[in-house]
Amino acid sequence: MQRQAATRPLPRGPHNLTRDHVLASQRERMIEAVAAAVASKGYGATTVGDVVAGAGVSRKTFYEHFRDKEDCFLAAFDAGVDDLLRAIVAAEPDAPGWKAALRARVHAYLSTLAAHPDFAHAFLIEVFTAGPRALERRNEVHARFEQLLSDLYARHDPTPSLRAETWTAAVGALNEVVVAHLRTRGAADLPALEDALVDIQVALFAAPRDG
């Protein structure tokens, strides 16, 4: 995700920036550069050279921050996911009830991805080609999304009786629909999926349950 204040190019020549500020700027620029390169070329074809060129840093600087391309990609994955989850949690519903809260979060999820197409493509599609550590990280993220849904529902239903697998199914369905859309139509109009994703999840959560 882009962090405008942190990722502006550093001024040339003497400046009053602290070393911590310089290091943070370098890291953020490389995180953005790896997402852009992977989204454009694919994970396998992306090189450290692509990252340093996109970030405007030296190879020496790259290896001061990251062990290798995979380490940089995973750092970018974590940073982007954290931004995405913050947007989802901060979403404010326009009406009471869990359905309105669910819709607000779906809207935040889709609009955030649409605003950051490199992140969306690199970390929802290319993650499958980035190796076992990336897939493990993806599984951890899905578990975080499952917990968000479970917590949301529990706050509005004092006696929830949904099986744990329901949350796995809900996150998996959302992900599959979004990935299919990204592959065929890109990220720009992801918000058009809002009604479909809300309907899918409502169907899962509101289905008749055993007494």
Same domain, yes or no, for 27 and 128? no
Same domain, yes or no, for 63 and 120? no
The structure tokens 């007494």 sit at 211
Q: How far is the C-alpha of 110 from the C-alpha of 124, rounded, in Å? A: 12
Note whether residue 52 is domain-resident.
Answer: yes
Band (pLDDT 50/70/90 cuts) for residue 5 is: very low
Range(s) of the domain holding residue 51: 4-67
Same domain, yes or no, for 104 and 178? yes
Same domain, yes or no, for 90 and 10? no
Same domain, yes or no, for 118 and 182? yes
Same domain, yes or no, for 34 and 74? no
Band (pLDDT 50/70/90 cuts) for residue 152 is: confident
Q: Can you give the pLDDT at residue 86?
A: 95
Indicate the residue among 45, 67, 89 that finishes a domain.
67
Same domain, yes or no, for 152 and 56? no
Q: Which tokens in the block code for residue 97?
A: 């009830």
pTM across the whole model: 0.85
Same domain, yes or no, for 83 and 177? yes
Mean pLDDT of 165-176: 92
Read off the pLDDT of residues 83-117 as tens digits, 9 standing for 90 and up.
999 999 999 999 988 889 999 999 999 999 999 99
Same domain, yes or no, for 91 and 43? no
Q: Higher model confidence: residue 133 or residue 161?
A: 133
Number of domains comprising the chain: 2
The structure tokens 């009471």 sit at 96
Note whether residue 196 is domain-resident.
Answer: yes
Q: Can you give the pLDDT at residue 1?
A: 54
Q: How far is the C-alpha of 76 from the C-alpha of 71, rounded, in Å? A: 9
Read off the pLDDT of residues 186-211 as tens digits, 9 standing for 90 and up.
999 999 999 999 999 888 877 544 44
CATH number of the domain within which 30 lies: 1.10.10
Note whether residue 211 is domain-resident.
Answer: no
Cα 100 to chain centroid distance, Å, stands at 22
End-to-end CA distance of the chain: 45
Band (pLDDT 50/70/90 cuts) for residue 154 is: confident
Q: Which of 163, 191, 162 is nearest to 177 (CA)?
A: 191
